[in-house]
Chain A
Amino acid sequence: MKQVLSSYLRQLEAESIYIMREVAAEFRNPVMLYSIGKDSAVLLHLAMKAFYPGKPPFPLLHVDTTWKFKEMITFRDAEAERLGIDLTVHINEEGVRNGISPISHGSALHTDIMKTEALKQAFAKFGFDAAFGGARRDEEKSRAKERVFSFRNASHNWDPKRQRPELWHLANTKVNPGESMRVFPLSNWTELDVWTYIYLEDIPVVPLYFAKERPVVERDGTLIMVDDDRLPIEEGEVPQMRKVRFRTLGCYPLTGAIESNATTLPEIIEELIASRHSERQGRVIDHDQVGSMEKKKQEGYF
């Protein structure tokens, strides 16, 4: 038997549930963006709680870049099955036809076409007017100023200077046809809160978060896992088995592993407390230049 949630975590949970119910009540066609990682796992768990005894009144959408870890896809399908939730997977087929990949086209173009563009396609195809995302304000500096209800114009652009003020718990949910809202119920959660909550609530997460011997190559100081044979092994490189885990999950060639012995949630939490590196450090796309996340957000990256 585990401990009960601290009063602080109960407050965060109630706040997130409140936000989800607001969206369900105010929008015509909301969707939950499900990216399979730990934040999505918490998001989905909260949605199951918010509408209990009913199911969440919106579908899940996974924008699949086709470069996710195999274990992520297996986990995704198992979770949708376990919870009895309607899951839609969208892939930018044009990108696939053009052979877009993070290896041949670089991380920036790949993310733009297979993620940002794909998301816009899905919005157009299904007519969504609101989408939940798992972003937290503690992840990155420009996200610290993101609203809980973040307005996007018809081209899905984010204008940091024209954000709607958020007073008390009153969300301005008005959007015109074509415009939409990104909604971040985990805005006030930190990485440590997320892991503590996962532990206390027994929420399943992708096994990649736990340390295990995995085949990796080291590139520019980053450990890249050889998840399938699409990863070209460069001359002189020998994939080696190292005990690694992932702190954040994305496309496998763009996600660095960390060496670790943490095989349980308490060990992950302990490692996190002792850690002196921020979570997004393992993300290759953030390093392009200072302020790069802000640019991507303005263009419609989630």
Chain B
Amino acid sequence: MARLSVVGGTNDSASDRLAARLVAEEDRGLLRFLTCGSVDDGKSTLIGRLLYDSQLVFEDQLKNVQRESKRPNSTLGAEIDLSLLVDGLQAEREQGITIDVAYRYFSTPRRKFIVADTPGHVQYTRNMATGASNCDFGVLLIDARQGVLTQTRRHACILSLLGIKKVALAINKMDLIDFDQEIYDAIVDDFVSFAEPLGFESIEPIPVSALKGDNVTTPSAHMHWYHGPTLLGHLETVEVGHDRDLGPFRFPVQWVNRPHLDFRGVSGTVAGGQIKPGDEVVIHPSGKRVHVARIVTADGDLDVAREGDAVTLTFAEEVDASRGDVITTPDNEPSVADQLAAKIIWFDEEAMLPGRTYTIRCGTQTSTATVSTLKYKLNVDNLDHVAGKTLEMNEVGLCNLSMTRPVVFDPYGDNPETGSFILVDRFTNATVAAGMVEFGLRRATNVKWQELSVDKTSRASLKGQRPCVLWFTGLSGSGKSTIANALEKRLHALGRHTYMLDGDNIRHGLNKDLGFTDADRVENIRRVAEAARLFVDAGLIVMVSFISPFRSERRMAREMVGDGEFIEIYVDTPLEICEARDPKGLYRKARRGLIKNFTGIDSSYEQPESPELDLNTSDLAPETLAERVLEELRRRNVV
């Protein structure tokens, strides 16, 4: 596109002035940075100061802030509380804390800035990770009176974990320590020696007073011993350009664009490298090779698409590509595996349980993933390795994950766009974790599936039955095993081939190493579900009688076998009746505190939402109930 030549002096209209400004700003880039540090280090005040000094505060906003500054909770008395410009939500204004990530925008003639203001409270560390995931630079605040605190160390570790290479250390409230250079130097030394193993490329210490404005946008008149840049000066000039543009080409397919029969393309945003028409590319995971025909945009075809460009690619050859595929050049291919090792930051109030399945979202791919092992936890105060079985909210650990189908990815260090993922709870739909891929696990490709020539169908047809799992779930003492036993007798009498997996019996053998914590309960069910699947594969009708209190694990068991092969039977006996029956005396023990984590007493039972059969047991004999299950099996053509 031709550029307007600016008409000089004589014709000084608004449109000429705008044209001149736009030409001057054509190369103006964008810096996304976050501010973090402990509570009360003055982050919101600092951002308020940046906005105020860069004249981005409007008169009516200032008037609101002045009005609010006079409220009793305000700490500044008559002065304007600049943090009020930034603290958006009413609740936190009242409590005086920041509870979420807020985004602010300001610009100078040199750069545009997007600021993520992140919270300092321990319980909101996950929000800081969220803010950091979209930033290129970090400003870490330290209260000069406090020095380096646990929170400071934690935030530095999180910045490093998320791959932020450059930080500014804003040592704030210098006015409250009389602008003392010795205190400042001691804090800088303390931080630099701590941060050495974190691998930052550069740390820029700057003494500031956000409240008074020293060294924020204008050099301080109180610190003649300091010769470095102001904070804004540093933000305007720091180089953060990552060279992903030069790296391997990555194009996750977002959307198949097929408006009519004559056009078929794949839309997406280039996540690394660049591509030109005519280039050969590989579509993963299928591995098909094709050539790029056109790079289509609404503004015309492009000669080259670079990192960050949102385009639509068409190919010279007919090929099937769909959402979730990743297109790359043949020379530098990504990993394709169904097992990987990743650092995981846990977000949810409910702890991570190894063995439980979650939805994984990696680039534009969606699959289900199970955390198979937690290798170690990371102490986010110093990145030391710590042993552990689960991850609680805000904890970080290195985990192995296995997916139900192969996922295409890169190590996070190579490309955060294709090396990051989130885990989503399949019931609450909450985002429970953020992950950064370390590497793929070779096991995924080494263990070849042994193809068997006699299959499930042939085994079952020899027995004249359709194999399935009858999954009895319910409280202890609800009658699961009694009904399952009665049913097995009836089936046996009818000449059917059956097998029974009983909770108590399995815990004496296969699962005798497991206890009753949530993590062990999940593993308990996983092993039983795997065993049940093998028996179904052998052509049997399998009865499983397990309390199996969690929906996720019952769903996992259901998904292990084919459609229609899982029949969930809810043995629906109220807790009072189970407790009154108490055939094994367990409820009495649990009530006295002799057994911990007992379902129904101090561990929860999640009722099935839509079981195939809901058996209300209160006034019926086990044989009658078994007969009802049998009717259901006939209705489903199992027998």
Which A residues lie at the B interface, using CB under 8 A?
1-4, 6-8, 11, 13-14, 17-18, 21-22, 24-25, 48-55, 137-138, 141-145, 160-161, 163-172, 174-176, 187-188, 190, 196, 199-200, 264, 266-267, 269-270, 275-278, 281, 290-291, 294
The answer for the CA separation of A143 and B347 in the assembled complex, in Å, is: 23
Q: List 27 A-B contacts (CB under 8 A).
A: A1-B1, A2-B19, A3-B4, A3-B22, A6-B26, A7-B29, A11-B30, A21-B268, A25-B255, A142-B89, A144-B86, A145-B102, A160-B89, A167-B133, A167-B420, A168-B417, A168-B420, A170-B363, A188-B114, A196-B22, A264-B15, A270-B17, A275-B58, A276-B59, A277-B58, A290-B67, A291-B93
Label chain B's interface by main secondary structure: mixed
B595 within 8 A of A: no
Chain A residues contacting B2 (CB-CB under 8 Å) are 1
Name the distance in Å between B354's Cβ and chain A's nearest Cβ: 22
Looking across the interface, which residue of chain B has its beta carbon closest to that of A294? B90
The answer for the CA separation of A276 and B61 in the assembled complex, in Å, is: 10
- Which residues B1-33 have CB closer than 8 A to chain A? 1-4, 13-15, 17-19, 22-23, 25-30
Chain A residues contacting B263 (CB-CB under 8 Å) are 53-54
Chain B residues contacting A166 (CB-CB under 8 Å) are 130, 134
Name the segment of B198-206, B224-232, B304-312 touching the other chain: B304-312
The answer for the CA separation of A172 and B347 in the assembled complex, in Å, is: 13
**Which residue of B133, B310, B364, B420 contacts A17 across the interface (Cβ within 8 Å)?**
B310
Given contacts A144-B88, A165-B130, A172-B422, 9 further A-B contacts (CB under 8 A): A11-B30, A51-B267, A54-B258, A137-B105, A170-B361, A174-B424, A270-B17, A275-B58, A278-B58
Which B residues lie at the A interface, using CB under 8 A?
1-4, 13-15, 17-19, 22-23, 25-30, 58-61, 64, 67-68, 85-91, 93, 99-105, 112, 114, 126-127, 129-130, 133-134, 254-255, 257-260, 263, 267-269, 296-299, 308-310, 312, 323, 347, 359, 361-364, 416-417, 420-422, 424, 429-431, 434
**Which residue of A11, A138, A145 contacts B89 across the interface (Cβ within 8 Å)?**
A145
Name the distance in Å between A301's Cβ and chain B's nearest Cβ: 15
Query: Once the chains bind, are A50 and B310 in contact (CB under 8 Å)?
Result: yes
Looking across the interface, which residue of chain A has its beta carbon closest to that of B429? A174
Looking across the interface, which residue of chain A has its beta carbon closest to that of B15? A266
The answer for the CA separation of A163 and B93 in the assembled complex, in Å, is: 18
Chain B residues contacting A165 (CB-CB under 8 Å) are 126-127, 130, 347, 431, 434
Looking across the interface, which residue of chain B has its beta carbon closest to that of A49? B298
**Which residue of A13, A17, A21, A266 contacts B18 across the interface (Cβ within 8 Å)?**
A266
Query: Once the chains bind, are B25 and A169 in contact (CB under 8 Å)?
Result: no
Chain A residues contacting B27 (CB-CB under 8 Å) are 6-7
**Which residue of A53, A172, A275 contacts B259 across the interface (Cβ within 8 Å)?**
A53
Query: Once the chains bind, are B99 and A174 in contact (CB under 8 Å)?
Result: no
Query: Once the chains bind, are A281 and B60 in contact (CB under 8 Å)?
Result: yes
Query: Once the chains bind, are A144 and B102 in contact (CB under 8 Å)?
Result: yes
Name the distance in Å between B340's Cβ and chain A's nearest Cβ: 16
Name the distance in Å between A278's Cβ and chain B's nearest Cβ: 4
Query: Once the chains bind, are A4 and B3 in contact (CB under 8 Å)?
Result: yes
Query: Once the chains bind, are B29 and A8 in contact (CB under 8 Å)?
Result: yes
**Which residue of B64, B267, B310 contacts A290 across the interface (Cβ within 8 Å)?**
B64
Query: Once the chains bind, are B18 and A270 in contact (CB under 8 Å)?
Result: yes
Looking across the interface, which residue of chain B has its beta carbon closest to that of A163? B100
Looking across the interface, which residue of chain A has its beta carbon closest to that of B58? A278
The answer for the CA separation of A141 and B17 in the assembled complex, in Å, is: 31
Given contacts A164-B431, A172-B361, contact A49 B129 (CB under 8 A): no
Among B87, B88, B259, B364, chain A packs the most CB atoms within 10 A around the CB of: B88
Name the distance in Å between A103's Cβ and chain B's nearest Cβ: 25
Chain A residues contacting B28 (CB-CB under 8 Å) are 6-8
Query: Once the chains bind, are B254 and A21 in contact (CB under 8 Å)?
Result: yes
Chain A residues contacting B18 (CB-CB under 8 Å) are 199, 266, 269-270
**Which residue of B4, B259, B422, B429 contacts A170 across the interface (Cβ within 8 Å)?**
B422
